[in-house]
């Protein structure tokens, strides 16, 4: 019968008219990142041993790890860098890491002005990791809580104090301020 399609369409519109909206007013309102979302990566220095398993697992060769031995046998991470310019967000590095030191869970707001700023060194990565921990009640994306020494370190850093090196974890890297895009 003529008009049935129109009636069905209007009925669908009417039904959705009274349901709560599925969208949010980003960026004023930010939706919580789903636990298994394929997002940009977060790297947590205090969990990382510098074993390079993530770098070997990455099909694109995005991850650079350079270490030197310390007298106590642990590894000093001289460099830890992720080239997000070529990362395909496959998550293989996160699955390969034996210590869950690299995890998916980055924010919606890590866009950069310049393409080359997607190359992130250990200081950039640590800033994002500390931001994540501060904004998520000091829980890692996998749900585990950060150790107290790390929480103290991040809070002291936020207050501009000289942060004590956290005991029982690997050396903490201070986070770097966010790079500002040039104006004008």
- 8 contact partners, CB below 8 Å, separation of at least 6: none
Candidates 34, 60, 165, 178; binder of ligand SF4 (CB under 6 A) is 60
* Beta carbon of residue 71, minimum distance to ligand SF4 (angstroms, whole number): 20
Does 33 sit near ligand SF4 (CB under 6 A)?
A: no
User: What single string gives the DSSP state of each residue in 50-71?
Assistant: ---HHHHH-TT--EEEEEEE-T
Does 133 sit near ligand SF4 (CB under 6 A)?
A: no
Among 105, 142, 146, smallest CA distance to 125 is for 105
Number of chain residues interacting with ligand SF4 (CB under 6 A): 25
Does 154 sit near ligand SF4 (CB under 6 A)?
A: no
Does 53 sit near ligand SF4 (CB under 6 A)?
A: yes
**Are 45 and 170 a contacting pair, CB within 8 Å?**
yes
Q: Which is nearer to ligand SF4, 53 or 175 (CB)?
A: 53
Does 169 sit near ligand SF4 (CB under 6 A)?
A: no
Q: Which is nearer to ligand SF4, 52 or 155 (CB)?
A: 52
Q: Give the whole-angstrom CA distance, residue 110 versus residue 46.
A: 22
Q: Give the whole-angstrom CA distance, residue 168 versus residue 149.
A: 8
Window contacting ligand SF4 (CB under 6 A); options: 55-63, 111-119, 143-151, 171-179: 55-63
Token representation of residue 34: 């789903």
Distance set, CA 124 to CA 11, 26, 34, 177 (Å): 51, 24, 23, 8
* Beta carbon of residue 99, minimum distance to ligand SF4 (angstroms, whole number): 4
Name which of residues 84 to 103 contact ligand SF4 (CB under 6 A): 87-93, 97, 99, 101-102
Does 126 sit near ligand SF4 (CB under 6 A)?
A: no
Backbone angles phi, psi at 118, to 5 degrees: -80, -5
**Interacting residues toward ligand SF4 by CB under 6 A:** 48-54, 57-58, 60, 62-63, 65, 82, 87-93, 97, 99, 101-102
């Amino acid at each position: 019968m003529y008009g049935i399609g129109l009636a069905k369409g209007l009925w669908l519109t009417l039904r959705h008219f009274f349901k709560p909206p599925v969208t949010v007013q980003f960026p004023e309102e930010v939706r919580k990142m789903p636990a298994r979302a394929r997002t940009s990566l977060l790297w947590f220095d205090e969990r990382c041993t510098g074993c390079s398993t993530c770098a070997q697992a990455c099909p694109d060769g995005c991850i650079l790890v350079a270490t030197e031995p310390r007298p106590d046998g642990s590894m000093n991470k001289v460099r830890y860098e992720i080239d997000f310019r070529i990362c395909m967000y496959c998550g293989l590095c996160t699955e390969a890491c034996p210590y869950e030191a690299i995890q998916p869970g980055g924010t919606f707001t890590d866009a950069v002005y310049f393409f080359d700023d997607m190359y992130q060194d250990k200081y950039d990565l640590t800033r994002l990791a500390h931001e994540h921990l501060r904004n998520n009640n000091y829980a890692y994306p996998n749900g585990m809580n950060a150790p107290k020494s790390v929480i103290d370190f991040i809070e002291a850093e936020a207050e501009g104090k000289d942060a004590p090196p956290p005991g029982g974890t690997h050396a903490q890297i201070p986070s770097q301020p966010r790079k500002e895009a040039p104006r004008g």
